[in-house]
Amino acid sequence: MKSFDRIVLALLTLGIAAGVSGQELTGTLKKIKDTGTITIGYRDASIPFSYLDDSQKPIGYSMDLCYKIVDAVKAQLKLPDLKVALQPVTSATRIPLIANGTVDMECGSTTNNLERQQQVSFVVTTFVTANRLMSKAKNKIVNLEDLKGKTLVSTSGTSNLKQVTELNGTKNLGINIVAASDHPAAFQMVESDRAAAFAMDDILLYSLVAQSKNPADYYISTVQLSTEPYGIIVRKGDPDFKKVADGAITAVMKSGEINKIYAKWFLSPIPPKNGNLNVPMSDALKKVVANPTDSGDPASYK
């Protein structure tokens, strides 16, 4: 990082600390101060956002960003030796574990939408993707209408599953929709022809295809079903902790460090197979980097 960028990052971090200094600690910050530990929820197979490497260590784009929040919390609470506890979560458990206090922030690939904002809060958006369909190239499923009378899989607890279920009902498509426990399990259903297509965020589909035995065997639709902004989730009604988290991610964006982190995970070879997703930063994400937002309205990203 250039010296100027370091100065900008330091000033922003100091500004975060000054904003809540002198106040009595409450909520998550008090919990962290009292226990000397911050708990991160991670996903084990959301490549390249949050997943396990060969040594079973959680790594990824979202994990790198969450550690920036950890650094900001250390500075805010003056706890240089703050411990980090790592808690695995799934699509189905991530929100409940945040809400009940087991996990302090979830670092994965979670869509920020208005419905979820009723249960949890989101740090400023860190990625923007879209819900699409993946199928065998020989079948080339373009849209939901192509799936009439066929089986569609998505991952349990995701906004993708909810959306295709609702569309199936309103359009009376007669699609047999099934829920898989995680993304790899859903991919395997298409791979083994137990499902005709897999509905999921396109960046996760690109990752799964890139890691597969024969990437050319698969097709990802150009038609998108929705826009999906990703955010790190924290507890609702805890403005002090959210302010620190927002400030940390905003500092990474304003300093330009986000470009280095993005390139590491989307434009470079990544573990475990050293595949390169080669996905340039989208215009929608560039817009967020220039003007950070935690909006759950998809229209904010167009």
CATH number at residue 222: 3.40.190.10
Q: Are residues 252 and 288 in the same domain?
A: yes
3-state helix, strand, coil in the chain (%, to 5): 45, 20, 35
Q: Are residues 246 and 136 in the same domain?
A: no
Question: Residue 21: what pLDDT?
Answer: 46
Cα 6 off chain centre by:
26
Question: Residue 273: what pLDDT?
Answer: 85
**Interatomic CA distance for residues 174 and 227, integer angstroms:** 24
**Interatomic CA distance for residues 168 and 14, integer angstroms:** 50
Question: Residue 120: what pLDDT?
Answer: 98
Domain total for the chain?
2
The reply to whether omega before 48 is within 30° of 0 (cis) is yes
CA torsion angle for 96, 99, 101, 102 (degrees, to 10)? 20
Q: Are residues 105 and 141 in the same domain?
A: no
> Given 227, 261, 281, which residue is the final one in a domain?
227
Q: How many other C-beta atoms lie within 10 A of the C-beta of residue 102?
A: 14
Question: Residue 13: what pLDDT?
Answer: 53
Question: Residue 302: what pLDDT?
Answer: 87
Q: Are residues 161 and 113 in the same domain?
A: no
Q: Are residues 9 and 83 in the same domain?
A: yes
Provide block-wise average pLDDT over 10 residues at a time, the chain (302 residues).
Answer: 53 50 83 98 96 96 98 98 98 96 97 96 97 97 97 96 97 97 96 98 94 94 94 98 98 98 97 90 96 96 91
What six digits make up the tokens of 117? Answer: 């904002």
> Given 193, 227, 261, which residue is the final one in a domain?
227
Q: Are residues 140 and 115 in the same domain?
A: no
Question: Residue 19: what pLDDT?
Answer: 47
Q: Are residues 244 and 176 in the same domain?
A: no
At 292 the three-state DSSP class reads: coil
**Interatomic CA distance for residues 214 and 160, integer angstroms:** 25
Question: Residue 35: what pLDDT?
Answer: 97
Q: Which domain holds residue 70?
A: 3-126+231-301
Task: Give the strand pairing for 176-180 and 197-201.
Answer: unpaired
**Interatomic CA distance for residues 107 and 277, integer angstroms:** 20
Question: Residue 109: what pLDDT?
Answer: 96
